[in-house]
């Protein structure tokens, strides 16, 4: 029996991993008498079951456009909107904070990012870019494995009437590398529910351990599979429902820690469930798609859809049916939720989907112009439960983009034909021509479409040349992009120790307060003369001179720069040599390290120790309020929807206009003048003050005809180019709206984190988790596209919160260190040596315990080991002053950590390190032997 079950399990694994699972198979109807259940009834039955029988709150589907989550292009799973609950960042005042057990049907799009089914759509009978995910959730331990499995089994077998002998289940079989045992609890639950042991299979982490990302909540999952074969021949399984039990958290170091609260997260695709219940051999044969396929047939006049795939699908007719039906659903949903075709990110993917649908409908199905838009009302009828509005705007937008793409497609086809006439029989199609047709070139055709058009003509594309052009384009974009802000240079403990050994006094930064108020209201900062004491390369090495174009840390004897501290950002500016005023050394930031102010400079020329320099602070770094004021001013102009006037006039007429801005450029004569809200002729009148009250510019560029066309504007970045000159980066329209939502969401997360911090932490683990959350939020605020004024405010808030969190950790660690010290002193009698193990969450904690022990017993040398998850061991030691210099902590730690295959670092008195071993006693013996030999 065991052998047959093992053999069956092997077949099942191969069946589950094969794709596509539906192709070429035929379902037996669940009932030969009852009519097939309609998709709407299947959806309603799911929601009613959890609401009425099990007290779940029904929540509406979230928009497919992620709100405040820059990691996603589209909402691709039901759990996305509940991520704040899983991550512990939910605002305690929000409605979501009160969720305990909920259920819904979530609109999902998988056409970009980690989950991308776009290229598979049409090739088989099951893939979709849009689908509905039915799910139920239990938060904070409201219920867990037994209830979740029982509910799922009850719904599938009793409500939907799926025969029990058609259902198989899988559970997590453990992961020895991660130190995780098998989820025998789930296995036993299924056995108790009556599932035969032969249909309960275990799998590893790849199949049955679900993770949100590289870090964060995760846990084992159990899946319910449906046997397509129905007992005829070998089982052919397709996943129907995934039940995830979030009970662990993946830490940044890769280890797994138990979550303070456990959650249930389940997901089941409506389209696949409907296919099972309707006894169809494909999701495209259900009533979710049949009205669309019929409408396509009526609108195109192509042969009726027959469900063929692969080589059997002559002319790709059925493939085109599936592509068009799937894509128009996705387009309707995305546009209704605010994601319209565009040029980057999710809008670019929507544009690609639309153009792919147009290509198949016109090229393969021979559809007339405007055909795609005519399918939108059919989508609305079939997806009414997803709250899809029947908006004429969706129809017109699809039709407009379809017409534009058809024009480009026709031009592209003519260009390809002309190029092919010039090629010989063995020539490849030129990469430069293909590039000109692409989204990166002139016509906006997807490259995969260009390749497909050439493939159909039996022509090979110059792929190597195309890759070269793509690489050049990527390099060009990288050069044009704003530089990523790098972490500033720091003085490490060794550099600080060397400065103290040399008797270098701390930096005199009192000149930073030397500024005065001008009569005009602005501030005037005095210059400061200083001497270069030391230069540091990026790797921390002390150097005597700088190389050209490199980044260095600059230590001076005095400075007028405010170093970043106390929640206030550092000054920026530049310095010059006293004897050479025309070469500017830009100062990006100033950091305080142990009383020394380190200036981060980029050296255009050589600078050396001993040089005399003058420092100049930039007088206007923009404040968050000023950034917000700039945004408000633009938004007021946008809201007025003023006309933009353009006219060419004699250059001489513009030279005396008050307020007219001109750059250090040579302007043509006549010159083009652009004026917002005021006709150019009026703006240029001698007595006119228009240029002081609105935007009047000399510019030969292209412009909007009305300010209202901007829609919205958000400043998302800034960069100081030179003294007194700041470049602002802004986005408009839909991207601006999304940026505001991201900013609002992050602001709520920061507020929630502040409230968690105010409540205090019970132990070090909780405090460290909160500190990590602050770090994650800081990274998100630093990198997300959001209002720059809000970013600056949140950055300042998070710095203060991080300091408070770190202070809390230190206090808790010190309190625990005292307790652990007392325990160790009780176990060890007075003597020259203590070598033992102790539990500690971090190296800093372990060092505190060692220091406390040596403080209590000054004549004792101490080495402590702390075992960690996955076999790692932390090590810290301190040598009694009476035992040095012959016996050093650094050598002691190195001997023990080397024994464990690790590394160590430190000084003669205190040292620390890490290693890995399963035999702690051997490591302790090595530590004692080394110390006794030295003593």
439 in the same domain as 396: no
Is residue 109 reached through a cis peptide bond, with omega within 30 degrees of 0 on the bond before it? no
883 in the same domain as 899: yes
697 vs 220, residue with greater confidence: 220
CATH number of the domain at 232, please. 3.30.930.10
Q: What is the pLDDT of residue 18?
A: 40
- Residue 354 near residue 395 (C-beta atoms within 8 A): no
Q: What is the pLDDT of residue 35?
A: 53
- Measured in degrees and rounded to the nearest 5, phi and psi for residue 391 equal -95, 125
What distance in Å separates the CA atoms of residue 641 and residue 706, rounded to the nearest whole number? Answer: 6
- Residue 700 near residue 713 (C-beta atoms within 8 A): no
Cα distances (Å, whole numbers) of residue 678 to 14, 654, 669, 699: 72, 15, 22, 16
681 within some domain? no
456 within some domain? yes
Model pLDDT for residues 387-428, shown as the tens digit of each residue: 566 667 888 889 888 888 888 888 888 888 888 888 877 788
Angle at 445 between CA 444 and CA 450, to 5 degrees: 150
Model pLDDT for residues 285-320, shown as the tens digit of each residue: 999 999 999 999 999 989 999 999 988 988 889 999
468 in the same domain as 414: no
Q: Binning pLDDT at 50, 70 and 90, where does residue 113 land?
A: low
The region of weakest confidence among 216-220, 326-330, 544-548, 754-758 is: 544-548
What residues make up the domain containing 410? 289-422
What distance in Å separates the CA atoms of residue 898 and residue 916, rounded to the nearest whole number? Answer: 10
DSSP state of 20: -
CATH number of the domain at 540, please. 2.40.30.130
The DSSP line for 872-898 is EEEEEEE--GGGTTTS-HHHHHHHHHH
Model pLDDT for residues 492-501, shown as the tens digit of each residue: 646 766 787 7
Rg (CA), the chain: 34
* Residue 27 reports pLDDT greater than 50: no
Question: How many residues does the structure list for the chain?
Answer: 935
Q: What are the tokens at 8?
A: 């069956």
805 within some domain? no
- Residue 908 near residue 884 (C-beta atoms within 8 A): yes
247 in the same domain as 129: yes
Exposure letters 707-726 (e unless 16+ CB within 10 A, then b): beebebbbbbebebeeeeee
92's CB contacts (< 8 A; 6+ apart) are 752, 755
Q: What is the pLDDT of residue 577?
A: 86
What's the mean pLDDT in 683-707? 84
* Residue 524 reports pLDDT greater than 90: no
CATH number of the domain at 866, please. 3.10.310.40
* Residue 687 reports pLDDT greater than 60: yes
Q: What residue has token string 């389940």?
A: 266
What's the mean pLDDT in 557-582? 80
What distance in Å separates the CA atoms of residue 31 and residue 277, rounded to the nearest whole number? Answer: 9
Model pLDDT for residues 52-85, shown as the tens digit of each residue: 999 999 999 999 988 767 778 899 889 989 988 8
488 within some domain? no
Model pLDDT for residues 788-815, shown as the tens digit of each residue: 999 999 999 998 898 888 888 888 888 8
DSSP state of 901: T
What distance in Å separates the CA atoms of residue 914 and residue 555, rounded to the nearest whole number? Answer: 33
- Measured in degrees and rounded to the nearest 5, phi and psi for residue 374 equal -70, -15
For residue 372, give the 3-state DSSP assignment. helix
Out of 617, 634, 649, a domain closes at 617
602 in the same domain as 526: yes
Q: What is the pLDDT of residue 389?
A: 61
What are the start-end ranges of the E strands in 723-807? 725-732
Model pLDDT for residues 627-642, shown as the tens digit of each residue: 888 889 888 889 999 9
Q: Give the best-scoring range by mean pLDDT among 11-25, 579-593, 627-641.
A: 627-641
Q: What is the pLDDT of residue 483?
A: 41
Q: What is the pLDDT of residue 566?
A: 53
150 vs 255, residue with greater confidence: 150
* Residue 267 reports pLDDT greater than 80: yes
Bridge-partner residues for 876, per DSSP? 864, 912
What distance in Å separates the CA atoms of residue 562 and residue 590, rounded to the nearest whole number? Answer: 7
373 in the same domain as 455: no
862 vs 216, residue with greater confidence: 862
231 in the same domain as 134: yes
Q: Binning pLDDT at 50, 70 and 90, where does residue 50 land?
A: very high
Q: What is the pLDDT of residue 486?
A: 43
- Residue 12 near residue 173 (C-beta atoms within 8 A): no
For residue 842, give the 3-state DSSP assignment. coil
Q: What are the tokens at 668?
A: 């043509």
599 in the same domain as 511: yes
What distance in Å separates the CA atoms of residue 49 and residue 135, rounded to the nearest whole number? Answer: 12
335 in the same domain as 217: no
884 within some domain? yes
541 within some domain? yes
242 within some domain? yes
Burial of 614 (0-12, 13-18, 19+ CB in 10 A): middle
* CA dihedral sign of residues 516, 521, 527, 533: positive
* Residue 182 reports pLDDT greater than 90: yes
What distance in Å separates the CA atoms of residue 604 and residue 584, rounded to the nearest whole number? Answer: 8
Q: What are the tokens at 422?
A: 């010039």
129 in the same domain as 108: yes
What distance in Å separates the CA atoms of residue 849 and residue 511, rounded to the nearest whole number? Answer: 42
Q: What is the pLDDT of residue 190?
A: 97
Out of 572, 599, 617, a domain closes at 617
Q: What are the tokens at 561?
A: 């720069």
60 in the same domain as 137: yes
319 within some domain? yes
Out of 380, 400, 422, a domain closes at 422
87's CB contacts (< 8 A; 6+ apart) are 216, 217, 773
* CA dihedral sign of residues 29, 32, 38, 44: negative
The share of the chain scoring above pLDDT 70, in percent, equals 88
Q: What residue has token string 């497609």?
A: 409
Q: What residue has token string 């044969």?
A: 285
Q: What are the tokens at 781?
A: 């605020």
599 in the same domain as 561: yes
868 vs 124, residue with greater confidence: 868
How many structural domains comprise the chain? 5
For residue 12, give the 3-state DSSP assignment. helix
- Residue 380 near residue 390 (C-beta atoms within 8 A): yes
Bridge-partner residues for 644, per DSSP? 676
What distance in Å separates the CA atoms of residue 323 and residue 308, rounded to the nearest whole number? Answer: 13
Q: What is the pLDDT of residue 16?
A: 43
Bridge-partner residues for 551, per DSSP? 602
* Terminal Cα distance for the chain, rounded: 65
Burial of 447 (0-12, 13-18, 19+ CB in 10 A): middle
470 vs 339, residue with greater confidence: 339
What's the mean pLDDT in 578-598? 80
């Amino acid at each position: 029996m065991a052998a047959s079950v093992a053999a069956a399990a092997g077949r099942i694994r191969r069946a589950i991993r094969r794709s596509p699972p539906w192709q070429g198979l035929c379902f037996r109807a669940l009932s030969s008498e009852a009519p097939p259940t309609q998709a709407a009834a299947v959806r309603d039955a799911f929601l009613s079951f959890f609401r009425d029988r099990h007290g779940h709150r029904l929540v509406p589907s979230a928009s497919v456009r992620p709100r405040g989550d820059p990691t996603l292009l589209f909402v691709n799973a039901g759990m996305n909107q509940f991520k704040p609950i899983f991550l512990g960042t939910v605002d305690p005042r929000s409605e979501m904070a009160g969720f305990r057990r909920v259920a819904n049907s979530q609109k999902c799009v998988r056409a970009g990012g980690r989950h991308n089914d776009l290229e598979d759509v049409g090739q088989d009978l099951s893939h979709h870019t849009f689908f509905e995910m039915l799910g139920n959730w239990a938060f904070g331990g409201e219920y867990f494995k037994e209830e979740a499995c029982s509910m799922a089994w009850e719904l599938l077998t009793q409500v939907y009437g799926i025969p029990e002998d058609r259902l198989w289940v899988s559970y997590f079989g453990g992961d020895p590398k991660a130190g995780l045992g098998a989820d025998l609890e789930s296995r036993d639950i299924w056995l108790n529910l009556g599932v035969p042991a032969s249909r309960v299979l275990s799998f590893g982490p790849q199949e049955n351990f679900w993770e949100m990302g590289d870090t964060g909540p995760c846990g084992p999952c159990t899946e319910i599979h449906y046997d397509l074969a129905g007992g005829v021949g070998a089982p052919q399984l397709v996943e129907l429902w995934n039940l995830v039990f979030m009970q662990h958290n993946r830490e940044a170091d890769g280890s797994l820690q138990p979550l303070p609260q456990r959650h249930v997260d389940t997901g089941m695709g409506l389209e696949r469930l409907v296919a099972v219940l309707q006894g169809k051999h494909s999701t495209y044969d259900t009533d979710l798609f049949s009205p669309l396929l019929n409408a396509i047939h009526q609108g195109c006049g192509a042969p009726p859809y027959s469900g063929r795939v692969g080589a059997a699908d002559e002319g790709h007719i059925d493939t085109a049916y599936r592509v068009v039906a799937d894509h128009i659903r996705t387009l309707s949903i995305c546009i209704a939720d605010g994601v319209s075709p565009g040029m980057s990110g999710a809008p670019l993917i929507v544009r690609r989907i639309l153009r792919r649908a147009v290509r198949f409908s016109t090229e393969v199905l021979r559809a007339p112009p405007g055909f795609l838009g005519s399918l939108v009302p059919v989508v609305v009828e079939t997806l009414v439960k997803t709250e899809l509005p029947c908006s004429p705007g969706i129809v017109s937008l699809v039709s407009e983009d379809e017409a534009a793409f058809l024009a480009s497609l026709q031009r592209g086809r003519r260009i390809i034909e002309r190029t092919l006439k010039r090629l010989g029989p063995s020539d490849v199609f030129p990469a430069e021509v293909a590039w000109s047709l692409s989204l990166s070139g002139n016509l906006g055709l997807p490259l995969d479409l260009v390749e497909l058009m050439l493939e159909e003509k039996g022509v090979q594309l110059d792929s190597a040349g195309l890759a070269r052009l793509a690489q050049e384009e990527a390099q060009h974009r990288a050069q044009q992009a704003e530089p990523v802000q790098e972490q500033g240079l720091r003085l490490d403990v060794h550099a600080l120790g060397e400065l103290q050994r040399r008797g270098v006094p701390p930096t005199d930064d009192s000149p930073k307060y030397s500024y005065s108020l001008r009569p005009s209201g602005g501030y005037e900062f005095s210059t400061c003369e200083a001497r270069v004491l030391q230069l540091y390369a990026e790797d921390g090495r002390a150097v005597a001179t700088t190389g050209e174009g490199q980044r260095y840390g600059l230590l001076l004897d005095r400075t007028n720069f405010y170093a970043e501290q106390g929640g206030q950002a550092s000054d920026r500016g530049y310095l010059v040599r006293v004897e050479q005023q025309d070469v500017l050394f830009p100062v990006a930031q100033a950091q305080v390290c142990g009383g020394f102010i380190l200036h981060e400079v980029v050296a255009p020329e050589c600078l050396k120790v001993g040089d005399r320099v003058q420092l100049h602070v930039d007088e206007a770094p923009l404040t968050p309020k000023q950034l917000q004021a700039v945004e408000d001013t633009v938004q007021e102009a946008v809201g007025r929807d003023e006309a933009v006037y353009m006219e060419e006039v004699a250059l001489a007429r513009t030279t005396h206009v008050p307020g007219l801005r001109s750059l250090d450029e040579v302007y043509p004569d006549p010159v083009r003048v652009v004026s917002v809200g005021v006709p150019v002729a009026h703006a240029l009148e001698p007595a006119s003050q228009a240029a002081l009250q609105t935007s009047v510019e000399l510019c030969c560029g292209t412009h909007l005809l009305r300010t209202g066309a901007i829609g919205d504007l958000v400043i998302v970045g800034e960069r100081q180019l030179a003294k007194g000159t700041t470049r602002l980066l802004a986005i408009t329209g839909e991207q601006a709206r999304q940026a505001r939502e991201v900013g609002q969401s992050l602001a709520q997360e920061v507020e929630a984190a502040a409230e968690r911090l105010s409540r205090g932490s019970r132990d070090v683990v909780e405090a460290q988790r909160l500190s990590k959350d602050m770090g994650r939020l800081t990274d998100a605020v630093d990198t997300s596209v959001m209002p720059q004024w809000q970013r600056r405010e949140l950055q300042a808030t998070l710095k203060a919160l991080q300091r408070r969190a770190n202070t809390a950790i230190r206090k808790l660690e010190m309190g625990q260190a005292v307790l652990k010290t007392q325990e160790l002193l009780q176990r060890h009698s007075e003597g020259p040596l203590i070598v033992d193990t102790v539990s500690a969450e971090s190296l800093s904690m372990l060092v505190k315990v060692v220091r406390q022990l040596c403080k209590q017993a000054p004549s004792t040398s101490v080495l402590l080991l702390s075992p960690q998850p996955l076999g790692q061991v932390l090590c810290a030691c301190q040598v009694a002053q009476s035992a040095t210099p012959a016996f050093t902590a650094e050598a002691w730690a190195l001997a023990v950590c080397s024994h464990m295959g690790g590394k160590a670092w430190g000084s003669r008195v205190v040292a620390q390190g890490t290693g890995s071993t399963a035999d702690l006693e051997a490591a302790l013996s090595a530590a004692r032997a080394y110390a006794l030999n030295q003593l």
